[in-house]
Amino acid sequence: MLEKMEEHAMVQFLSKFDENPFLIKFGGNTHLVGEGEPSFTVDFKKAIPLAELLNSTSIALGEAYMDGNLNVEGDLYEALSNFLGQMAKFSTDEKALKKLIHSSTSKKNQSQEVRSHYDIGNSFYKLWLDETMSYSCAYFKSPSESLAQAQHNKVDYILEKLHLEEGMTLLDIGCGWGFLLIEAAKKYHIKGMGITLSHEQYSEFQRRIEVEGLQDSLTVECMDYRELPKCGRQFDRVVSVGMVEHVGRENYQLFNDCVRDVLKPGGLFLLHFISALQEHPGDAWIKKYIFPGGVVPSLREMLSAMANDNFHVLDVENLRLHYNKTLLCWRKNYLAHLDEIRKMFDERFVRMWDLYLASCAATFYNGIIDVHQVLVTKGINNSLPIVRWY
């Protein structure tokens, strides 16, 4: 009787997600949600209690998938693409999940949060990222391009937007494994500094600097962005790719203030970040399992913070569908290396990471999130070309 009641409550809750019809299977019963031919089927091995779905729809469904209590017949990404366009209907009890959704933005806690994701192991990331070890949105000039070529395109595009000249200084905030700065040093002969909170990224970037013989051109530091104003350096150019999502909504202005303090007058700053149409605290499952403390800024609040620092906007570009394609490439690589990944992690992690890649690809496809590149100058710079030189 209890199982029947839980099944009924679960089906009733999920019935509101009816924009794209799908089937629910449970205990030999089949339920159609929506009208028409179902686009996917969800097979539940165990009913999810209504209280859990109301507390966090995202966590409840995500954990059910991770634990093998929920399986999708067919391709996971295709199912999610048909489902996640309705995320506005998800339930989240922000009061009950306050510590998860609004975690501390202290240096110590944010350092731990960043390392929990990026210090999983370089050997893991090397399995499914491309040879450049770029972990951000690529730029596909044509649909047939490889992931590696698209990542080269992305870095070249950013460096062109920065209007670099030989001898300039370039700061990369959240430098990852260092590919952007390495390319900048080799192609433009700049002097560069990268900062990261990840020990794994720091050690790999340091190794790559030595392999490339760029010790006189590049340095990398384990440093919080809040320490930049105290570093005693000024830069001609600043770039940050996929990092500001980790600083927290209350620190967006502080982040831009720190960039202002180390950027020379007239200097260029390019910010590449996952964005949203409106301000939102973030997805609970993603915060619990993938990016603790992560918050996606809206474009308008980031532009507002930039304006407060006298940053003049030159250009804004949306690369949303490029990130959809990037994530699909990552997922393809991930699935191709499952045997090796299963030797590193348990099945729950394997399913979790697949869900992460597939769901993020689906959210970009549905426009739930975007990715923007914003190019600004500190104050007025009348020496730049008056057309889009890049």
The set of catalytic residues is: 360
Q: CB–CB of 56/93 below 8 Å?
A: yes
Q: Which two tokens stand for residue 182?
A: 């390495």
**Residue recorded with tokens 């990542």:** 151
CA distance 346 to 343: 8
CA distance 77 to 39: 12
From residue 280, how far is each of 178, 203, 301 by CA, in Å? 30, 34, 11
CA distance 304 to 313: 11
Helices (H), the chain: 2-14, 50-55, 57-66, 76-83, 98-101, 107-118, 122-128, 147-161, 179-188, 199-212, 252-262, 284-289, 299-308, 320-336, 338-344, 347-365
CA distance 84 to 360: 10
Q: Which two tokens stand for residue 148?
A: 């590696």
CA distance 378 to 246: 23
DSSP-derived secondary structure letter, 49: P
CA distance 285 to 20: 23
Q: Taking Cα atoms as reference points, which of 246, 187, 183, 182 lies closest to residue 218?
A: 182
Scored b (16 or more CB within 10 A) or e, 60-96 reads bbbbbbbeeebebeeebbebbbbbbbebeebbbeeee
Rg (CA), the chain: 22
